[in-house]
Each structure stands twice: as structure tokens, then as C-alpha cells.
Amino acid sequence: MRGRGARVAYGQGTWGAAGGAQAPVVIRVESASMAGRHGPNSMTLPVVAQIGDSRMRLRVGDNPVPLPPGVWPVTVWCSYYGMKSGRAELTVDTRAGRPVLLYYTAPRTIYNRGALGYAPAERPGRTTLTLIYTLVPVAVVLTVVVLALLSG
């Protein structure tokens, strides 16, 4: 799927092609924080994109990626201690030479998929985060109650 003669400069997001006009693809990273809320308990993770066989690191905001004409598989994820978290995939067609704007939104937790599409999306993982914040304290309280009943 990668165009012939295409080269990538890793980390810079510039592709050079042997012939053909390049179509600008912009990946807009909406958020790269997880753990549910912004503030002292949130964690900002590195965001990585793989387009064809090439990888680049993304930042929050617009990330322009000029691509040669073709059909390109785009995968974006957050790197959580070396694991791919919040993975999202989309196939982009740049054969028409028109600019393409993609939106990536990281999930609220490392247990959910991210959102990658042609329009902004709400951050996935609200239900998972709610379960974590309610079930964990309930389990701790139940454990303390059970231990108190067994010891007394």
C-alpha cells in the first residue's frame, strides 16, 4: 500500500515521493490525557501514528503529514509504558489530491479504544471510568466489613 519511492523522516512527519503531488493529511489530536479528568490525577501519554509502514509521534493539535497519492491505512494510539492503548484505525484515500483532516481523541482510560474519524468525537470510556470509580471503593468497603465481621 505504500507508494513506490516513498521515504519517511521519522519523527518529523515529512514524506517524500518519487513523482506525484502530495496530499496534505492533517491529524488533529484532541486529547492525550487519560485517567478521567484534567488536573493532578490525569496522565498525558505520547501519541503515535502509523501510516503505511512509517511511524511518527504526534502532539496535541494539528499534525500535518504530506502523503503521496494512494490508499493509506492510518493507525493512531497512545503509548502507555510501551503498550498500545487507545488504538484507532482508519483507511485514507489521497488519490484525489485533496486535503484530508482526521480527528483523534484518546479514551478516558487505557482499557478503551480511541476515536479516529473525519469529525470530532466524544472521548470514549465514560462508562468504564464510572465503573472504576464506583466499584473499587465499594470493593474496599465490602472487604473491610467482611474482615471486621470475621474477626469479631
* Closest to 115 (Cα-Cα) out of 90, 150, 149: 90
Phi first, then psi: give them for residue 128, nearest 5 degrees: -60, -45
Count of Cβ atoms closer than 10 Å to residue 86 Cβ: 30
7-124 CATH? 2.60.40
Report the pLDDT averaged over residues 70-88: 91
Tens-place pLDDT, residues 12-57: 344 444 445 677 899 999 877 765 445 555 667 899 999 988 999 9
Q: Which residues lie below 8 Å from residue 98, measured CB to CB, with a gap of 6+?
A: 23
Q: Which helix (H) or strand (E) holds 47?
A: strand 47-51
Please give the pLDDT value at position 116.
95
pLDDT at 10: 31
Q: What number is the average pLDDT over the span 121-144?
A: 87
Q: Which residues are within 8 A (CB) of 94 and not within 5 positions of it... i.e. 6 or more apart? A: 23, 25, 67, 68, 69, 70, 71, 72, 100
Predicted confidence at residue 39, as pLDDT, reads 53
Residue 152 has pLDDT above 80, yes or no: no
Nearest partner of 89 among 109, 71, 116, 123, judged by Cα: 116
Sequence spans of domains, the chain: 7-124
pTM for the model: 0.70
How far lies 108's CA from each of 4, 20, 36, in Å?
38, 40, 5
Closest by Cα among 108, 35, 105 to 77? 105
